[in-house]
Chains A and B, each alone.
Chain A
């Protein structure tokens, strides 16, 4: 993974000092709440319902074991001994004090980490495929381009005071695990016929109040133009994006107002000035960054086929975990393991200091000291030798990190909701737990197959409910908490936005409603048809009828 140069380290250290000075001025009364808000947001500090919340950047979801141990340590010293994995591959702490944040940042800087631009109206953490670099279906490793983009976006002189937050995601595999169609800019990296890396740029996707699917604005762009093309898009957005209404300020609204071809015309005209200028990447720079992501030396592994077959037969729980949580690796003899945080009764994404330390130890013992965070709020160990899977599974089970539900109904994405968030209409965590409790039969869940269930506590859509196969949105009805259910959303290759079933339900009705929806699916599906396909084929009407019948 990427290691800081002296230049990178100095930048981070000076940024800590800068923020320390800003905090000092605020505490001395030299900055108003409103002024300091903009400054702290650009360093990941929200003030929430219960306490400040610090969001630490995990660039494109990649951590070293050392960094993860540092996060565990911070959670112990400054928080209540746990952290939260976010849907944008970051880590959040819910209980630090405002005064302690400069010290936390200084600690982070010692392990090459920061909280720069993890909130506020600026370019946010760059996200990607959590399996980048190891996935069997990958054409190009997107991480070097993520890192180049991260550096370019850090305190950009022009683009740190945008109309609204700005999210960029890159994906380099056949499957789109980075949700490029629902980002302000989605970049698909591929290898062209001549064997060169090229980019396809999508613009104007996003969730929130006005969900939108991004459209292609440029195809086959040569890699050296990455930063100049980004600059052209951002400059048009910074100059012309709306600033009068924050709900209409995302680039998706500008794309709609200008139309996609109209926006493309403006961007291309701007780019004509920048193309081949000093911002153009050099082959040497691309090489330099790529070298940090060179594959580790994969050892020849002893054949584990017999061992695994025997263990799977002996333990249905191990068998289920192997089936759901272990993915194909590009190197023979290795696997990619997802450690699910979605154990019933635990808020999705919450991990304790002990769990973080344990995962860091496993990353060293069963890999090359690297950990990933996926946007489904799980940990990933990217390089596990097949023969060590049984041992890892046992240890993960003991730590409550072996829920064998990856991709299944109970592997939910869920925002913090009314328990933590001041914007919430409704709680989301207790609802997630109620659903997990209702559907805890492993065989039934496996039989249902892949179902993404996403919950947001309000229309800001932090839980990505629009792109859940089943989406649940907290709404406020005369001061009471209700939930709107939608079906048919998808974040993957053929992204789509869910369709709302109808009037909202009370919290205690939701598990029955979900059960009704699943019953219709089981009845109507053809052979091994996935849930999403079934919804797309038969439409939402049969589901709607059963849902309202079940809700009584």
Chain B
């Protein structure tokens, strides 16, 4: 059964992902809508605070970045486990567009992708089953220091290490 990992723990999923558009009055609470459906819903949808949106890997959120960034949840679809587009998309939403809500990955997600997702700013991912979910959580801690700046490390290693050295931190 698909298992949600949130903030590096297994969590209950109280959102409903809608694959196809639903007419506005029938949208349930805590629904995650496809981007196009949400855009079509216009102001009525934008006014709702219990609505999330999901994006395909090739989505261009630039045009609607401000409105999307205000939502409580954004989900990105990973169509195949080796498809890294969602990583760039997530990193952009988190770091460039200032999205502060739940950033979730769903689709074909290998536990070994979790460390990358985590570093690109995803705080939630849906794994195939419980075992995969636990493997994903474990995978995130495997490597403790990376070179690049990321959503989890605002400075690249060379700046961090130079700063620590200057401050006399081990």
Contacts and interface: CB of A to CB of B under 8 A. Distances in A.
A296 interface: no
Contacts of B119: 157
Interface string B22-53: 00000000000000000000000000000000
B156 A159 contact: no
B38 to A, nearest CB: 21
Interface string B93-123: 0001000000000000010110010011000
Interface string B60-94: 00000000000000000000011111011101000
Q: How large is the interface on A (under 10, 10 to 19, 20 to 34, 35 or more residues)?
A: 35 or more
A418 to B, nearest CB: 28
B145 A157 contact: no
Contacts of A159: 84, 87
Interface in B126-159: 131, 135, 139, 142-151, 154-159
A354 interface: no
A51 interface: no
Contacts of A238: 84-85, 87-88
B161 interface: yes
B148 A35 contact: no
A152 interface: yes
A157 B155 contact: no
Given A7-B145, A158-B84, A235-B88, A279 B113 contact: no
A24 to B, nearest CB: 11
B118 to A, nearest CB: 8
Interface in A157-195: 157-162
Given A157-B150, A239-B89, A18 B142 contact: yes
Given A158-B84, A273-B96, A151 B116 contact: no
Interface stretch (A9-17, A138-146, A479-487, A511-519): A9-17
B148 A156 contact: yes
Max chain A C-beta neighbours (<10 A), residue from B110, B143, B149, B161? B143
A161 B155 CA distance: 22
Contacts of A281: 158
Contact of B116 (A7, A14, A157): A157
A279 B162 contact: no
Contact of A239 (B88, B135, B154): B88
Interface of B: 58, 81-85, 87-89, 91, 96, 110, 112-113, 116, 119-120, 131, 135, 139, 142-151, 154-159, 161-162
Given A22-B112, A158-B88, A278-B149, 20 more contacts: A7-B157, A7-B161, A10-B144, A14-B143, A14-B144, A25-B135, A35-B81, A38-B81, A151-B157, A155-B143, A156-B147, A160-B84, A238-B88, A239-B58, A239-B85, A278-B154, A278-B156, A282-B162, A284-B162, A285-B159
